[in-house]
Amino acid sequence: MCNSTTMDSVHLEHHLNAIFKHAEDFTIETLQGPQCNILIAYFDTLADKKKLHRYVMEALMPVVAEQQNIAISSTLHFKIIQKVDNLQELLLTGSCLIQIEGEHPIYAVDVSIESPRTVEEPENEKVIQGSHEGFVEELRRNVYLIRKTLKTKDLVVKYMKIGDDVQSELCFIYMPQRAEQQVIEEMEQRILNATTSGLRSIGDLEQLIEDSPRSPFPQMLNTERVDRVIALLKQGKVIIFVEGSPACLIAPVHFNDFMRASDDYNSRWMSSMFISGLRWLSIIVAIFLPAFYIAVVAFHFEVLPDELVMPIKTSINEIPFPPLIEAFIMELTIELIREAGLRLPARIGATVSIVGGLVIGDAIVKAGLISTTMIIVVAITAIAAFCIPTHEMSETVRLLRFPFMLLAACLGFVGMSFGIILIWGHLCKLESFGSPYFMIITFEDVKKQVQAFLFGKADPSPRQTKWQRIQQQISAKGWNFLGRKKR
């Protein structure tokens, strides 16, 4: 279109009306005054009336009345528009356009409604000890939440846009000294090359830019917690925010990152190790326990010790179904209960959980349809799956249970072995933006742990030498480290 410098108010009005002809909330007002008329265009639904009055109407009234020239430099809210392409975008983000009849410059003022959701703890990621802040849907407010905790100049914040028809705004955040350059470039490349008509949510973005969208395992971490994001930023990860989503994407991640909760940062060393170990145990139980039980009962019951054989045999003797069908019925029932629990309003929820527990648990055993041991196995598995801190990994684990059950029912322990080989092989192949996904523990990690144990928690600035670190520990703890008494 033509430059704004050549467009006058009549043309502007026609131009904007042509673009937004279907939008009935698009308003064009004219302030009529004795000397001149001022054209104001804005979206009724996006503009805050109070701001509109305060910044625009009150500022313009004297101009209209006394024909004072708008002293642009003194009015800080006003901005001169240079290009006509920006008009659409400015209006859609809540600005209002102002043009004086007869003159050419178009001014824009940001009068958008601000009513962000209050910062509260995210539902899925609650912790006992630690910060209870979570992100909100507004992009800029999220960046504010990060900046207010991480007051450092070494924070890179980049805005990008994605989407062909409907654009969404993205924000890239990382700490340049800690994040790897290669990863950053790779991420930027992928976002720029991603073609989509419009993002529905952050999950879409994840599928567009991750390494293997067909893998069942998530390759980017999804979290709403502020403290977790900050800790990960310090570790050198890159964060992506999308406007409209309180969750952010984090890359590159390892398998271990999915098993960490914020509790680990706030608890003591020993208890956090114990709880971490418990979580790893829960992932193993959640994937393998039903399959193990089916393999034992269907194929290899000699694995059970003598005292256990008869009780289990008694409990499964009268059941009409083979163990695989039993397991599938119970697992699917539990998944149904879980899904229903999500959708139920709170008041009915309690009643239905009683129904689920009593009817399904108790009555089905009494009717002789499912054995008691199967109920125990399924219950333990369900609980174990919920122990995993990240929601995405928890869903993956719940999904992976079923193929293992099938393999165990067909081939017993051998089938399970092959299932494990396949899963491990797949995990070894997965990469998250260039770094391997499944290196749980490397030799350097072990060395670091041992050093941390002997010399104290290491979060050293890289400029300190080892000797300085030891000195620091001595003065902090007064240890008789080198045989010299501390005064």
Partner 1 sequence: MVVKKDNIHKNQIVYMVIQAQVGVGILSLPYNIAKYANQDSWISTLVAGVIMLLVILIMWLLCKSYPGMMMFDIFKQLTGNKLGKCLIIGYTIYFMLQSSYVLSKYGKIIEGWILERTPHWIVLSLMVLTSAYIVKDSLQSMIRFFMLVTPLLIVLIALSSYALRNANFLYILPVAQNGWMPIFKGSREAIFSMLGCDLVFFLYPYVRASHTQILKSVIRAHLMVTLLYTYLVFISLVYFMSPNDIKRVPEPFIYMIKSYSFRVIERMDLFFISIWIVSVATSFMYLLLLSAKGLAHLFAAPKHVTFLPVICLLTLITSLWLLDSDKLNVVNNYLTVCHYLFQAIIPALLLFISIVRKKTGDKREEQ
Partner 2 sequence: MKNATLVQTVTYDLTSKKRLRVGAATPVLNSADSLQNMTLVAEANTPGEARILLNRKASGLLDSSKNKLLLLGEAYAVHDILPFLDIHYRNPRNALDARLAVVKGEALPLIQLRSKSESNVSRYLLNLIQSAEESLLIPKEDIQAIASVIMDPGEDVTLPYIELESSSQLASVKGIALFDKRKYTGFYLNDTQSPLLLLLKGGKPRQNSFSFNFGSPKEEFPQRQIVSFLITKSNRKLKLTVDEHKQIHVALHLKLVLRVIEYPNGDVEADKDKLLREYKAYFTKLTGEVIHQLQRANCDAFGIGRMLMAYHPDVWRGLDKEQYFRQVKFSPNIVIDKIKSGIEH
The contact mask relative to partner 1 for 400-419 (x = CB under 8 A, - = no) is: -----------xxxxxxxx-
In this complex, which beta carbon is closest to partner 2, that of residue 165 or of residue 306? 306
Q: Which stretch binds partner 2 (CB under 8 A): 52-60, 137-145, 260-268, 303-311?
A: 303-311
Q: Does 324 bind partner 2 (CB under 8 A)?
A: no
> Stretches 34-42, 95-103, 149-157, 314-322: which one binds partner 2 (CB under 8 A)?
314-322
| Residues between 278 and 307 that touch partner 1 (CB under 8 A) | 300, 302-306
Which value, to the nearest 10 degrees, does the dihedral of the CA atoms of residues 355, 359, 361, 363 take?
160
> Which one of residues 316, 327, 330, 334 is an interface residue with partner 2 (CB under 8 A)?
316
Q: For partner 1, give the closer residue by CB, 42 or 288.
A: 288
Rounded Cα gap, residues 200 and 203, in angstroms: 8
Minimum CB separation of residue 304 from partner 1 in Å reads 7
Residue 252: is the preceding peptide bond cis (ω within 30°)?
yes
- Which one among 123, 165, 306, 444 touches partner 2, defined by CB under 8 A? 306
**Residue indicated by tokens 């009005």:** 13
With CB cut-offs between 5 and 8 Å by kind, which of partner 2, partner 1, none does residue 438 bind?
partner 1
- Name the segment binding partner 2 (CB under 8 A); options: 24-32, 44-52, 77-85, 301-309: 301-309
- Which residues ranging from 87 to 106 are in contact with partner 1 (CB under 8 A)? none
Q: Please identify which residue in 195, 317, 461, 465 interacts with partner 2, judged by CB under 8 A.
A: 317
- Rule CB under 8 A: say whether 301 interacts with partner 2: yes
Token pair, residue 123, equals 């539902």
Q: Which does 429 bind (CB under 5 to 8 A by kind): partner 2, partner 1, none?
A: partner 1
CA distances from 342 to 277, 401, 482 (A): 29, 21, 59
CB atoms within 10 A of CB 7: 19
Nearer to partner 1, 165 or 302 (CB): 302
Site for partner 2 in 278-297 (CB under 8 A): 297
Could you say which of partner 1, partner 2, none residue 115 binds, taking C-beta under 5 to 8 angstroms by partner kind? none
Q: State in angstroms the smallest separation of the CB of 371 from partner 2.
A: 10
Name residues whose C-beta falls within 8 Å of residue 243's C-beta, 6 or more positions apart in sequence: 137, 138, 139, 168, 169, 170
Size of the site for partner 2 (CB under 8 A): 13
> Of these partners, partner 1, partner 2, none, which one is at the site of residue 425 (CB under 5 to 8 Å by kind)?
partner 1
Interacting span for partner 2 (CB under 8 A) from 179-187, 298-306, 387-395, 444-452: 298-306
**318 vs 444, beta carbon nearer partner 2:** 318
Among 164, 302, 444, 459, binds partner 2 (CB under 8 A): 302
Closest CA to 374 of 469, 298, 432, 271: 298
* Residues 117-156: x where in contact with partner 1 by CB under 8 A, - otherwise, as a string: ----------------------------------------
Three-class DSSP labels, the chain: CCCHHHCCHHHHHHHHHHHCCCCCCEEEEEEECCCCEEEEEEECCCECHHHHHHHHHHHHHHHHHHCCCCCCCCCCCCEECCCCHHHHHHHHCCEEEEEECCCCCEEEEECECCCCCCCCCCCCCCCCCCCCCECCCCHHHHHHHHHHHCCCCCCEEEEEEECCCCCEEEEEEECCCCCCHHHHHHHHHHHHHCCCCCCCCHHHHHHHHCCCCCCCCCCCEEECEHHHHHHHHHHCCEEEEECCCCCEEEECCCHHHHHCCHHHHHCCHHHHHHHHHHHHHHHHHHHHHHHHHHHHHHCCHHHCCHHHHHHHHHHHHCCCCCHHHHHHHHHHHHHHHHHHHHHCCHHHHHHHHHHHHHHHHHHHHHCCCCCHHHHHHHHHHHHHHCCCCCHHHHHHHHHHHHHHHHHHHHHHHHHHHHHHHHHHHHHHHCEECCEECCCCCCHHHHHHHHHHHHHCCCCCCCCCCHHHHHHHHHHHHCCCCCCCCCC
Q: Does 409 bind partner 2 (CB under 8 A)?
A: no
Residue 448 binds partner 1 (CB under 8 A) = no
Note whether 188 and 172 are within 8 A (CB).
yes
The span of 69-77, 136-144, 185-193, 423-431 binding partner 1 (CB under 8 A) equals 423-431
Indicate whether 422 belongs to the interface with partner 1 (CB under 8 A): yes
Return d(Cα 72, Cα 363) in angstroms, integer.
78
Listed ranges 75-83, 85-93, 238-246, 309-317: which one lies at the site for partner 2 (CB under 8 A): 309-317
User: Of 438, 469, 471, 473, which one interacts with partner 1 (CB under 8 A)?
Assistant: 438
The correct pick among 80, 160, 192, 309 for binding partner 2 (CB under 8 A) is 309
45 binds, among partner 2, partner 1, none (CB under 5 to 8 A by kind): none
Distance of closest approach, residue 365 Cβ to partner 2, in angstroms:
13
Q: How far is the CB of 232 from partner 1 (least distance, A)?
A: 23
Footprint of partner 2 on this chain (CB under 8 A)? 297-298, 301-302, 306, 309-310, 312-314, 316-317, 319
Footprint of partner 1 on this chain (CB under 8 A)? 300, 302-306, 411-418, 420-422, 424-426, 428-429, 436, 438-439, 443
